[in-house]
Amino acid sequence: MNLTWPISTVSDAARARITTARVAAAHGVPPLERTRMAAALGARLRQCLSKGGNWRFVLTVARGSLRVEVSPSPADGERPWCVTASCPEPAAGPVCDAAAGDATALGEALLGADEDTALVLERLAEQEELVAFHREELHQTNQGVLALHAELDAAGRAQREAFAAERTARREAEDARRRLTFLADASATLTASLNHEEIARLLPELLVPRYARTADVWLFDAEDERVPRAAAAVIAARTGRPQYAAAHPGGLPGVDDQPPSALHPGRSLLCVPLPTRGAPLGVVTLTAPGERWNPDDAVMLVELTRRAGGALDNARRFEHNRDIAETLQRALLTDLPATPGLRLAARYLPATYGLNVGGDWYDAFRQPDGSLITVIGDVTGHGLHAAVMMSQLRTALRAYAVDGGSPGELLTRLHMFLEHLQPDLYATAVIARFRPGEPVLTWAAAGHPPPVLRGPDGRVRILDAKPGAMLGIPLNQEIADHTVPLEPGSTLALYTDGLVERRAQGIDPGIERLAAALGSFRAEELDADLDGSAERILDPMLSDSERDDDVCLLLCHVGASAGGRLGSRPRPGAW
């Protein structure tokens, strides 16, 4: 099918448009495509009419395709315009074009075009409703997505905050654990010492550089009063409250703020008093390791200083009581008498812990007949009570010796004295008697380690004849005397168990070591320097472990010549 006619008037254009619509409808072109083609053709025809000139309309239906072409005259030189559409089905009958000037045909054509337009508009309304539905659905979806994003963002923010709070809590817990560990370790270090000078030295070593750049311990009774002190330290000493001196307030719990120190204007100072049961002992002045202190670190430093004050107070009290005890011990241990033909040397060493006073004692004195009594003993226990009891025993022994009596008789009387007057206290002792003109040593022991006798030839004997029981036990006993020949140049060693007894080994190995040490001397060494010999005996005997008991040693050396030499006094350094 091929239709062609010229376009020069509006009627020609209307006829072309109506004919195109009818042919398209007859060949089954869908209304939407048909309306789109008619609208496009109408717009082109209006352009042609507005330009003027001669135009030709050609409509061709061939091979399932409808083609509409509007072309100008060849002289215009303008390219032809065309539009095509698929024809799904052939026309049911002949298609007639609209008659020119026929109003009825034009009206029917116009109504048919309106029907197509109405159908298009109906389809358009459906699409608009569908678009509106999808727009609402999309809006709801967008709202849901936005809400979900908001929830996810809030959840993520909450999770980040929870993680941050957890990290902060873990860090704070670790810092608190670190502070508590340091406080416990530092407190143990400070309280382990009973020397106040050592405690004052240890405190800065513990704090620098971890918690302070510098640390100065000011003890009020120390000989450094001419050293200038920061004003905050003076206020802390006067008020007993910690002070913080810096350009800005520190905000530290329990600490008063003060202006910057004139001595250290560019540093932050923390001045903490050393408290005791009474007035403070001194002030610790610290400079901040950084710009300022962490408040928790400051609280820990104040607590550590408080504990250091208690440790210093305890150390000073101990040192005071120790000095009293040592003075008492010196007063209880008498000087050794000078005896022709017999030299004496004594050493007393208190235990290395606690008060340096105990129940060990030695003594030497003459009886009315000229005999020299030497005694060494050990009252059970330590402390002032044992020392007082030791003094009573020593006094009682001297009183009994005035009436004479052998060593065994004297020990028997001491046993009765202790049993009746101090039923809960016990003692051990050895008494040796040197009688002028008699080459015999008489001795007796009551529960005490045996004497050790070195002969002039260097051979050593342990005088382990059966001793009596301990003094003061609820037992009636007569303590026997023992005798042994005594040649010039002999040396007798009396001692307490603190010299020879060790917990892991017992007492016998220690007695053997003492015998070996005494036998290692040459006779001329003992004659020339008995005091030095006593020192050389103590050194190897006490070097193996810390002493947990008092040590007492009394050496009695019989001179090789008849005249002898004067006895020696105990050296002050032997305490």
83: phi then psi, degrees, rounded to nearest 5: -145, 145
- Give residue 494's identity as a one-letter amino acid code: L
- The region of weakest confidence among 284-288, 342-346, 567-571 is 567-571
Name the pLDDT band for 517 (thresholds 50, 70, 90). Answer: very high
Distance CA(198)–CA(183), nearest Å, equals: 18
Q: State residue 356's pLDDT score.
A: 56
> Residue 228 above 80 pLDDT?
no
419-465 per-position pLDDT tens digit: 887 777 889 999 999 998 889 999 999 999 999 999 999 999 999 99
- 268-296 burial: b if 16+ Cβ within 10 Å, else e: bbbbbbbbbeeebbbbbbbbbbeebbbee
Residues 6+ apart with CB under 8 A from 169: none
- Token pair 């129940």 in the structure block, residue: 359
Name the pLDDT band for 100 (thresholds 50, 70, 90). Answer: very low
The residue-averaged pLDDT of 200-218 equals 91
- Token pair 């051990």 in the structure block, residue: 428
**Residues paired with 38 in a beta bridge:** none
DSSP annotation of 143 = H
Q: State residue 401's pLDDT score.
A: 94
Distance CA(549)–CA(547), nearest Å, equals: 6
- Token pair 């089905």 in the structure block, residue: 89
Give burial (CB, 10 Å; 0-12/13-18/19+) of 60. middle
Mean pLDDT of the chain, nearest integer? 84
Q: Which domains does the chain have, with CATH numbers?
A: 2-101 (no CATH), 196-327 (3.30.450.40), 334-574 (3.60.40.10)
Beta strands in 350-495 (DSSP E): 358-366, 372-382, 427-434, 440-446, 452-454, 460-462, 482-485, 491-495
124: phi then psi, degrees, rounded to nearest 5: -65, -40
Q: 37, 43 in Cβ contact below 8 A?
A: no
> Residue 93 above 60 pLDDT?
no
Q: 82, 70 in Cβ contact below 8 A?
A: yes
> Residue 571 above 50 pLDDT?
no
Q: How far is CA 255 from CA 150, 286, 299, 306, 545, in A?
A: 47, 13, 9, 14, 47
Reading the block at residue 447, the tokens are 């529960």
Helices (H) and strands (E) in the chain, counts: 12, 19
Residues 6+ apart with CB under 8 A from 46: 13
Q: Which of 101-115, 349-363, 373-387, 420-434 holds the top average pLDDT?
A: 420-434
- Alpha carbon distance, N-terminus to C-terminus of the chain: 145
- Token pair 């000095």 in the structure block, residue: 323
Helix (H, G, I), strand (E, B) or coil at 106: helix
Rounded (5°) CA angle 178-181-186: 120
Beta strands 214-219 and 81-86 are: unpaired
Q: State residue 505's pLDDT score.
A: 79
**Residues paired with 553 in a beta bridge:** 347, 495
pTM (whole model) above 0.85: no
238-268 per-position pLDDT tens digit: 998 999 999 888 889 989 999 988 887 888 8
Q: State residue 76's pLDDT score.
A: 62
Rounded (5°) CA angle 350-328-426: 65
